[in-house]
């Protein structure tokens, strides 16, 4: 048996091959993540006598090209959680860390866990792209929040509360009425320097140009708001430049978010579980693709509890001697992004409060028992995940039998 430990990093990896009782088959060496080097590595490992198994840490996307290349070559590959290997074999007072030592540690870990190493299976292209889109969606969402706060901060000096003048929801292309309005009327004086009647005509023309509904009463309210504020930042070209640049950045992020959201919806619609997931309460065009992206194919989990543990919202038991702790916090040892999505789902259910929805009934029951907010929210999330697992898995199995 040949245990191969691969310490993966960006662009290159360190490989070590061990056998039982500390026998070194191949001393640690480096391999670049190129097609030529990975093919040569696969041929070298396949030429070793006996069964060969490869272990590497699941490190974002760095391990993906190595794992995929070796898997396609027919080699047994296992990508394990880094936390499982982190403290393995640290029985020395001298804590040295090098890529070579890490590769040897992974090889020894493979020898000890030989029979229980989970086999690596590449993700389907659709699910991989859906997850990647969601990760980018989160990044752009954070950027848009910062840019929106920055624009509002600037407006406090030029047109206070301009972001509160309109309540229209964002369009499908990501544009918002108040942002487009500020691009035209970026300072209070842009409104106040006109008469109320002249501004109403100007505002009506602007509404027609951008496809927004016009209201005479709204024009009066905007004029009154602009006239009632004192702006300490002068109306000059520098101020206009700063406002327009902030608006342009926010509009670009909003358009990018809208495009990624549409692409996520298109990708999710091609997955077999799409009609079932979208049929669940409060799971719409945004949360549905997010759930499918983070959970993936539910058939890869052996039970409902495995899915709950993957989300990191399980409460592991703690017992030692006469101590038996029954109430513990969630483990948080799973997908943080899935926990965030579940919290959004639970928050929506709590806000809408549907009396005939089983998840809300369970949530309300726990709340009436006096459970703290986070306790009944996470308990409801666990129940939701269990229902998700059972419903989706049954549907997929039915499709396979059909």
Q: List the beta strands (DSSP E) in 149-276.
A: none
Spatial separation of the C-alpha atoms in residues 164 and 224, rounded to whole Å: 13
**332: phi > 0 → left, psi -120 to 50 → alpha, else beta; which?**
left
Q: 3-state DSSP call for residue 57? A: strand
Highest mean pLDDT (candidates 225-239, 303-317, 325-339, 356-370): 356-370
Please answer whether residues 83 and 111 qualify as being in contact, where contact means their C-beta atoms are separated by less than 8 angstroms: no
User: For tokens 């799973």, what's the residue?
Assistant: 334
What average pLDDT does range 265-289 have in this prediction? 91
What average pLDDT does range 209-226 have in this prediction? 91
How deeply is 189 buried, as exposed, middle or buried, from its count of CB atoms within 10 A (0-12, 13-18, 19+)? middle
Cα 3–Cα 7–Cα 12 angle in degrees, nearest 5: 125
The per-residue pLDDT for 243 is: 94
pLDDT band at 137 (very low <50, low <70, confident <90, very high): very high
Q: What is the pLDDT of residues 102-115, one digit of tens each?
A: 888 899 889 888 88
The per-residue pLDDT for 331 is: 79
* Cβ burial 211-246 (10 Å sphere, 16+ → b, else e): ebeeeeebbeebbebbeeeebebeeeeebeebbeeb
Residues across the chain = 402
How deeply is 275 buried, as exposed, middle or buried, from its count of CB atoms within 10 A (0-12, 13-18, 19+)? exposed
Which helix or strand (DSSP H or E) is residue 77 part of?
A: strand 76-80
Please answer whether residues 9 and 27 qualify as being in contact, where contact means their C-beta atoms are separated by less than 8 angstroms: no
Residue 396 φ then ψ, to 5° = -65, -40
Domains delineated in the chain: 2-116 (3.30.420.40), 128-267 (1.10.287), 274-401 (no CATH)
CB atoms within 10 A of CB 58: 18
Range of weakest confidence among 62-66, 84-88, 169-173, 325-329: 325-329
What average pLDDT does range 90-101 have in this prediction? 75
Q: What is the pLDDT of residues 165-188, one digit of tens each?
A: 998 888 888 999 999 999 999 999
pLDDT band at 401 (very low <50, low <70, confident <90, very high): low
How deeply is 361 buried, as exposed, middle or buried, from its count of CB atoms within 10 A (0-12, 13-18, 19+)? middle
Q: What is the pLDDT of residues 353-390, one digit of tens each?
A: 888 899 999 999 999 999 999 889 999 999 999 999 99
Q: Would the pLDDT of 324 be above 70?
A: no
Average pLDDT, the chain: 89
The per-residue pLDDT for 95 is: 72
Radius of gyration of the chain (CA): 28
Helices (H), 113-187: 125-158, 177-184
Please answer whether residues 265 and 285 qualify as being in contact, where contact means their C-beta atoms are separated by less than 8 angstroms: yes
**Strand-pair category, 76-80 with 52-57:** parallel
| C-alpha distances in Å from residue 1, one per residue of 4, 20, 23, 31 | 10, 8, 11, 22
pLDDT band at 308 (very low <50, low <70, confident <90, very high): very high
The answer to pTM > 0.85 is no
The per-residue pLDDT for 116 is: 87
Q: What is the pLDDT of residues 278-299, one digit of tens each?
A: 998 888 888 999 999 999 999 8
* Percent of the chain topping pLDDT 90: 55
């Amino acid at each position: 048996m040949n245990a191969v430990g691969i310490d993966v990093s960006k662009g290159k990896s360190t490989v070590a091959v061990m056998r039982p009782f500390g026998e070194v088959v191949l001393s640690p060496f480096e391999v670049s993540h190129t097609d030529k080097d990975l093919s040569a590595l696969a041929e070298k490992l396949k030429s070793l006598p006996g069964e060969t198994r490869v272990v590497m840490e699941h490190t974002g996307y760095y391990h993906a090209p190595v794992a995929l290349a070796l898997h396609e070559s027919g080699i047994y590959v296992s990508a394990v959680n880094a936390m499982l290997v982190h403290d393995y074999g640290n029985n020395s007072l001298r804590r040295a860390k090098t890529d070579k030592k890490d590769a040897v540690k992974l090889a020894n870990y493979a020898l000890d866990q030989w029979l229980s190493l989970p086999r690596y299976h590449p993700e389907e292209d659709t699910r991989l792209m859906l997850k990647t889109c969601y990760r980018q969606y989160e990044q752009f969402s954070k950027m848009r929040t910062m840019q929106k706060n920055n624009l509002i901060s600037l407006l406090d000096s030029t047109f206070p509360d301009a972001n509160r003048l309109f309540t229209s929801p964002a369009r499908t292309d990501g544009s918002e009425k108040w942002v487009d309005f500020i691009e035209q009327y970026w300072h209070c004086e842009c409104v106040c320097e006109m008469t109320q009647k002249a501004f109403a005509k100007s505002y009506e023309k602007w509404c027609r140009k951008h496809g927004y509904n016009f209201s005479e009463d709204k024009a009066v309210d905007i004029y009154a708001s602009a006239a009632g504020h004192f702006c300490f930042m002068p109306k000059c070209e520098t101020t206009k430049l700063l406002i327009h640049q902030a608006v342009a950045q926010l509009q670009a992020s909003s358009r990018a978010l809208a495009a990624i959201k549409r692409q996520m919806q298109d990708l999710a619609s091609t997955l077999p579980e799409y009609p079932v997931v979208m049929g669940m309460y409060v799971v719409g065009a945004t949360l549905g693709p997010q759930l499918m992206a983070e959970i993936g194919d539910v058939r890869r989990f052996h039970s409902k509890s495995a899915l709950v543990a993957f989300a990191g919202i399980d409460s592991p038991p703690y017992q030692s001697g006469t101590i038996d702790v029954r109430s513990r916090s969630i483990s948080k040892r799973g997908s943080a992004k899935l926990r965030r999505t579940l919290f959004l789902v639970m928050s929506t259910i709590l806000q809408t409060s549907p009396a005939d929805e089983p998840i809300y009934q369970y949530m309300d029951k726990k709340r009436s028992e006096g459970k703290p907010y986070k306790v009944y929210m996470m308990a409801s999330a666990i129940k939701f995940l269990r229902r998700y697992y059972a419903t989706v898995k049954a549907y997929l199995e039915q499709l396979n039998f059909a």
